[in-house]
Amino acid sequence: MKVLVTDPIADAGVDRLGEAGFDVVTAYDAEGERLQGLVRDANALVVRSGTQVDAALLDAAPELVIVGRAGIGVDNIDIDAATDRGVVVANAPEGNVRAAAEHTVAMAFAAARSIPQAHIRLTDGEWAKGEFLGTELNGKTLGIVGLGRVGQEVAKKLGNVGMDLVAYDPYISASRADQLGAELADLETVLDRADFCTVHTPLTPETENLIGEAELDRLAGGYLVNCARGGIVDEPALAAAVADGTLKGAALDVFADEPLDPDSPLLDVEDVVVTPHLGASTEAAQENVATSIADQVVAAIEEEPVVNALNAPSVDRSAFPRIRPYIDLAETAGRIAVGLFDGRIDDIEVEYAGDIAEEEVDLVTASALRGVFRPLQSRVNTVNAMQIAEERGIDVTESKTSQSDVFQSRVSVIVSDGEEDVRVCGTLFAGDDPRIVQIDGYRVDAIPHGHMLVARNHDQPGVIGLIGTVLGDHDINIAGMFNGRGTIGGEALTVYSLDSEVPTDVVDELEADDRIIKVQYLHLNDEG
């Protein structure tokens, strides 16, 4: 068995792989055809952020069982391509959290006190004492964008320095933020209030350029710290904002293109502090992540559970054929429930009724959670979904009843913020044909696939006609619809299956009619 290691990892990880009997090949500078040649007979590939693991590389590696990322960020790995090819992708999400948080704190202080700039002046022989008047962090407000593992650690550390904490993270519960002493707010409010803003999200289509010119304007007079991923902050806009004095300074450990181009405009701005992606570069962190990933490589090759697998469902083989269709159904129900829910999720309940209640359903529940958490880039799978709920302070309950009204089996996913909830209930027709049969108590019959529009309206004549006309005017074809209502003249809910997407202005146009209460559009094929 061969393990190819293409980015430098700690010796402890290499040793552990060797002790397990693997032939460990290290090739830290390999790229292009040489890399493709080396990976051809590899059973495992171990990388950090320096290796792009794309579909072409995976195609060149027919023996590959696992890609192990000795660290957190997996934006350099095409996980979908790996999944398509049956390759497990695993990371080491905990081992370098403290190192990344400490580096963030160091960078905030470095920017606030111009430490690198003063250092350079002094080593150049200049005692520039009068030129550096810094900013104290104590008593200032820290805005945290992304309150996950690193963000939470930074919150603890800088909270202890005496900073007020305000955070933006749509996927974290209010109770977890409370425990950290952080107030949750929308991004605009965080930027308006922050003296220092620190970014700790993954790089996803949603977070790419999340902090652009307009956002930097809101942070006017403050400092921006990014030790998460390049590409989340618009670099030319940041360079301009610091250069023209909109911001007092910035500190960056990560860049859209690494290594950073020596001609980058960021390097011309005096008050931008930079480090070459050093957040995880401590002895302890490197040892942690290298040994963690080595253990997971060994587990994957030995067909044992891979604890931080990002794409591998764990499954009891004998029960799998029976529960397999419910795994997909539950994920879809979770995806629809979260798509229809406007609040901050505090509780998720997965309810099983009928035959399915007789089965061991942990995997199905995890799949429902995967559907709910799917907007997260930190890939959620059935292995880590429950853990993610715990980390976010979200209560998960599973309930079972042998009664299932007209259906042989039903799976319902209920997401709630403690006051409001959304309940989506699905079943399988003929054993494997998934249907959504109830939304918030309204009986419907929807094939959960593609473009879906859910309209809540007053049950009055002409509403369905109106919706059909507006969709038709915008060339949106209705493939199917089901109208459910409580009482005549009360409220009704209609689900439309559509052949194409519904732009926001069409939703707005529909909602402008007094008879329509709310319209929500979901794209169920959307990975985001």
| Contact stretch for ligand NAD (CB under 6 A) within 174-182, 195-203, 296-304, 418-426 | 195-203
Among the options 229, 335, 392, 435, which is catalytic?
Answer: 229
200 forms part of the interface with ligand NAD (CB under 6 A): yes
Contact string (CB under 6 A) for ligand NAD, positions 273-302, x = contact: ----x-xx----------------------
Strand partners, 351: 399, 412
Is the backbone peptide bond immediately before 170 cis, with ω within 30 degrees of 0? no
Judged by DSSP in three states, 442 sits in strand
The string over 190-229, giving b where at least 16 C-beta atoms fall within 10 Å of a residue's C-beta and e elsewhere, is: bbbbbbbbbbbbbbbeebeebbeeebbebbeebbbbbbbb
48 binds, among ligand NAD, ligand 3PG, none (CB under 5 to 8 A by kind): ligand 3PG
Contact string (CB under 6 A) for ligand NAD, positions 243-272, x = contact: ----------xx------------------
Contact string (CB under 6 A) for ligand NAD, positions 385-404, x = contact: --------------------
The CA distance from 249 to 492, in Å, is 54
Is 492 within 8 Å of 457 (Cβ atoms)? Answer: yes
Judged by DSSP in three states, 104 sits in helix
**Could you confirm whether 349 is annotated as catalytic?**
no
By the 10 Å C-beta count (0-12 exposed, 13-18 middle, 19+ buried), 160 is classed as: exposed
Extract the tokens encoding 27: 């090739």
The CA distance from 458 to 460, in Å, is 6
Site for ligand NAD in 337-376 (CB under 6 A): 376
DSSP annotation of 369: H
**In the sheet that 451-458 helps form, which strands lie side by side, from edge to edge?**
478-485, 491-498, 451-458, 516-523
The CA distance from 184 to 195, in Å, is 16
CA 526 to chain CA mean position, Å: 14
Extract the tokens encoding 248: 């007092």
Among the options 98, 218, 277, 451, which is catalytic?
Answer: 277
Contact string (CB under 6 A) for ligand NAD, positions 207-226, x = contact: x-------------------
Site for ligand NAD in 2-61 (CB under 6 A): none
Dihedrals phi, psi of 100, to nearest 5 degrees: -65, -40
143 binds, among ligand 3PG, ligand NAD, none (CB under 5 to 8 A by kind): none
- Closer residue to ligand NAD, CB minimum distance, 228 or 425: 228
68 forms part of the interface with ligand 3PG (CB under 6 A): no
172 forms part of the interface with ligand NAD (CB under 6 A): yes
Contact string (CB under 6 A) for ligand 3PG, positions 166-195, x = contact: ------------------------------
The string over 233-261, giving b where at least 16 C-beta atoms fall within 10 Å of a residue's C-beta and e elsewhere, is: bbbebbbbbbbeebbbbbbbbbbbeeebe
Closest contact distance (angstroms) between CB of 95 and ligand NAD is: 9
| Contact stretch for ligand 3PG (CB under 6 A) within 25-33, 44-52, 79-87, 265-273 | 44-52
Is 189 within 8 Å of 164 (Cβ atoms)? Answer: no
227 forms part of the interface with ligand NAD (CB under 6 A): yes
**Could you confirm whether 229 is annotated as catalytic?**
yes
149 binds, among ligand NAD, ligand 3PG, none (CB under 5 to 8 A by kind): ligand NAD
Out of 13, 66, 67, 73, the only residue in the binding site for ligand 3PG (CB under 6 A) is 73
Out of 9, 72, 436, 507, the only residue in the binding site for ligand NAD (CB under 6 A) is 72
Contact string (CB under 6 A) for ligand 3PG, positions 91-110, x = contact: -----x--------------
Closest contact distance (angstroms) between CB of 10 and ligand 3PG is: 11
Residues 6 or more apart from 286 whose CB is under 8 A from it? 9, 10, 70, 96, 280
| Contact stretch for ligand NAD (CB under 6 A) within 130-138, 196-204, 236-244, 298-306 | 196-204
280 forms part of the interface with ligand 3PG (CB under 6 A): yes
**Could you confirm whether 16 is annotated as catalytic?**
no
- DSSP sequence for 147-194: -SHHHHHHHHHHHHTT-EEEEE-TTS-HHHHHHTTEEE--HHHHHHH-
The CA distance from 314 to 444, in Å, is 32
201 binds, among ligand NAD, ligand 3PG, none (CB under 5 to 8 A by kind): ligand NAD
Out of 145, 252, 350, 495, the only residue in the binding site for ligand NAD (CB under 6 A) is 145
The CA distance from 270 to 337, in Å, is 49
The residue among 106, 100, 107 whose CA lies nearest residue 250 is 107
Interacting residues with ligand NAD (CB under 6 A): 72-73, 93, 96-97, 100, 145-151, 168-172, 200-202, 206-207, 227-229, 253-254, 277, 279-280, 376, 378
- The residues annotated as belonging to the active site are 229, 258, 277
Interacting residues with ligand 3PG (CB under 6 A): 48-50, 71-73, 96, 277, 279-280
